[in-house]
């Protein structure tokens, strides 16, 4: 079929070979080339269509349409002509940036961009797959899956940030998994300057994933990292974002949700995620590279249990027992009993040491603080 791009059209579905809409007489081809066939979704002033490129038979495209006017009143007033020209110039500048970052294999390629009297258009390659929001995931993500997800998407964020582009709208709906398992970053949000001029048309980002500073139209690479962190929390818990944050206590409750389900993640991963979603931008990760470095340290510190067991088995088989000894006892792991859990640092704890008399415990952290503890009570001194 052919789908009419006029949002005020009462009957947008047309025959596949139609060139003009039967209901509203609007032309059905963009630039005499691109034809919409299906409405995929809409948010604010942006609508996304599946389409075809008539100059390249069989080539499917994604058509993004940014409306310039409010069609709810069916009015003809296009506003100030100079302002519309400014909007178009800003859009073309933004689209050129998208075209550059679209050279990355995990970002859809931009084929074309243009404007008409009613809307701005972005033509991208169509990628088959499902977003993480719609993926049939019977169980929440495990820690290993979250680490793999971060290792997959963080290099893409580093690439776009190094190119001077900020995504602005990272969430499960904008992460597309292809049938072969590859993950793509889709649907970039528009710049602040352009959003300011289109705000009256209802453009918005998903507030559940948006960093606090975005409410004041401030955006930084750390804003994308905040949204990525919230995405991880949703994948881990399969809960809505408004269930994971307690505004009265001013803190995230995601770990409590995990523990209620009798599951959890390591303290190191929890620290990484909490730093991603810190509401204070100064306490948040500032770059994707920083997160990657901590993730690599986390991976290095995580030794699979199977590898440990294999190593022990090899040691036992290669080392002959001494006379009178039991081989099983020789390799039996030592047991220990935790006495207290201490928590006073904002960063990872890298070192601990007891005083010579054993009456004092000191812990040093990546947050550049040293804290002293009473080993008997676990209380801070």
pLDDT digits (tens, 9 = 90+) for 196-215: 666 454 445 678 899 999 88
Closest listed residue to residue 284, CA positions, set 236, 210, 229, 245: 229
Whether residue 78 has pLDDT greater than 70: no
Q: How confident is the model at residue 232 (pLDDT cuts 50, 70, 90)?
A: very high
Whether residue 348 has pLDDT greater than 70: no
- Which stretch of 23-27, 139-143, 178-182, 368-372 has the lowest confidence by average pLDDT? 368-372
pLDDT of residue 227: 97
* Contacting residues for 377 by C-beta, under 8 A, at least 6 apart: 340
- Which stretch of 7-16, 118-127, 315-324 has the lowest confidence by average pLDDT? 315-324
pLDDT digits (tens, 9 = 90+) for 42-76: 877 789 999 999 999 889 999 999 887 654 444 44
Helix, coil or strand: residue 35 = strand
Helix, coil or strand: residue 92 = helix
pLDDT of residue 204: 55
The dihedral sign for the CA sequence 142, 147, 152, 154: positive
CA–CA gap between residue 108 and residue 193 (Å, rounded): 24
pLDDT of residue 308: 40
Q: What is the pTM of this model?
A: 0.74
Of 80, 116, 136, 169, which is the active-site residue?
169
pLDDT of residue 311: 47
Whether residue 334 has pLDDT greater than 50: no
pLDDT digits (tens, 9 = 90+) for 248-291: 888 999 999 999 888 999 999 999 999 999 999 999 999 999 99
169 among known catalytic residues: yes
* Contacting residues for 262 by C-beta, under 8 A, at least 6 apart: none
CA–CA gap between residue 181 and residue 303 (Å, rounded): 25
Q: Please report, rounded to a whole number, the percentage of residues in the chain having pLDDT higher than 70.
A: 78
Torsions phi, psi for 163 (to 5 deg): -90, 5
pLDDT of residue 330: 42
Q: How large is the C-alpha radius of gyration of the chain?
A: 27
Structure tokens at 286: 């500032």
36/81: higher pLDDT: 36
Q: What is the mean pLDDT of residues 290-310?
A: 73
Q: DSSP for 177-237, please give it.
A: E-TTS-EEE--PPPPHHHHHHHGGGT----TTTS-GGGGGT---HHHHHHHHHHHHHHHHH
pLDDT of residue 96: 93
- Please report where in the chains the tokens 């964020």 appear, as a residue: 157
In this structure, the strands spanning 119-125 and 110-115 are antiparallel
- Please report where in the chains the tokens 């812990």 appear, as a residue: 363
| Average pLDDT for the chain | 83
Q: Is 129 left (phi over 0), alpha (psi -120 to 50) or beta?
A: left
Half-sphere exposure for 288 (CA within 13 Å, toward CB): 22
pLDDT of residue 196: 62
pLDDT of residue 306: 40
Q: How confident is the model at residue 195 (pLDDT cuts 50, 70, 90)?
A: low
Alpha helices in the chain (DSSP H): 81-101, 143-162, 192-198, 221-237, 241-244, 254-260, 267-276, 288-301, 305-318, 327-331
Whether residue 239 has pLDDT greater than 60: yes
The CATH T-level fold of domain 128-301 is Transferase(Phosphotransferase); domain 1 (1.10.510)
- Which stretch of 18-32, 197-211, 244-258, 326-340 has the lowest confidence by average pLDDT? 326-340
Domain ranges (residues) in the chain: 1-126, 128-301, 349-380
pLDDT of residue 198: 62
Closest listed residue to residue 115, CA positions, set 143, 139, 87, 138: 87
Closest listed residue to residue 147, CA positions, set 264, 232, 223, 222: 232
- Which stretch of 126-130, 148-152, 309-313 has the lowest confidence by average pLDDT? 309-313
CA–CA gap between residue 267 and residue 104 (Å, rounded): 33
Closest listed residue to residue 351, CA positions, set 334, 377, 371: 371
Whether residue 192 has pLDDT greater than 70: no
Helix, coil or strand: residue 300 = helix
Whether residue 347 has pLDDT greater than 80: no
pLDDT of residue 350: 64
Neighbours of 298 (CB within 10 A): 18
Give all strands of the β-sheet with 349-354 in edge-to-edge order.
349-354, 361-365, 370-373
Beta-bridge partners for 1: none
Contact 220, 210 (CB under 8 A): no
Whether residue 159 has pLDDT greater than 60: yes
Class of domain 1-126: alpha beta
């Amino acid at each position: 079929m052919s789908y009419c791009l006029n949002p005020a059209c009462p009957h947008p579905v047309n025959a596949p070979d139609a060139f003009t809409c039967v209901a509203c007489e609007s032309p059905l081809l963009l630039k005499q080339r691109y034809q919409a066939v299906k409405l995929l979704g809409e948010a604010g002033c942006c609508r996304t269509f599946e389409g075809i490129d008539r100059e390249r038979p069989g080539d499917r495209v994604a058509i993004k349409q940014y409306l310039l006017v409010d069609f709810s009143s069916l009015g003809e007033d296009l506003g100030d002509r100079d302002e519309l020209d400014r909007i178009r110039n800003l859009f073309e500048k933004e689209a050129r940036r998208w075209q550059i970052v679209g050279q990355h294999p995990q970002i859809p390629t931009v084929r074309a961009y243009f404007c008409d009297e009613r809307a701005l258009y972005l033509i991208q390659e169509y990628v088959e797959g499902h977003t993480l929001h719609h993926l049939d995931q019977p169980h929440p993500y495990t820690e290993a899956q979250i680490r793999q997800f971060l290792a997959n998407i963080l290099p893409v964020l580093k690439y776009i940030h190094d190119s001077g582009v900020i995504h602005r709208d990272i969430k499960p709906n904008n992460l597309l998994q292809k049938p072969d398992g590859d993950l793509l970053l889709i649907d970039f949000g528009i710049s602040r300057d352009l959003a300011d001029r289109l705000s009256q048309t209802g453009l918005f980002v998903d507030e559940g994933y948006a960093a606090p500073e975005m409410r004041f139209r401030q955006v930084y690479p750390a804003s994308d990292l905040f949204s990525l962190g919230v995405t991880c929390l949703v994948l881990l818990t399969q809960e809505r974002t408004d269930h994971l944050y307690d505004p009265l206590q001013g803190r995230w409750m995601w770990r409590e949700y995990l523990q209620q389900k009798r599951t959890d993640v390591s303290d190191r991963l929890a620290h990484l995620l909490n730093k991603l979603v810190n509401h204070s931008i100064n306490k948040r990760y500032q770059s994707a590279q920083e997160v990657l470095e901590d993730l690599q340290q986390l991976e290095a510190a995580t030794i699979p249990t199977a590898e440990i067991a294999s190593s022990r088995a090899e040691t036992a088989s290669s080392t002959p027992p001494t006379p009178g000894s039991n081989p099983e006892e020789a390799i039996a792991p030592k047991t220990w009993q935790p006495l207290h859990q201490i928590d006073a640092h904002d960063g990872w704890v890298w070192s601990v040491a007891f005083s010579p008399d054993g009456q004092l415990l000191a812990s040093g952290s990546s947050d550049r603080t040293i804290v002293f503890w009473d080993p008997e009570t676990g209380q801070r001194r």
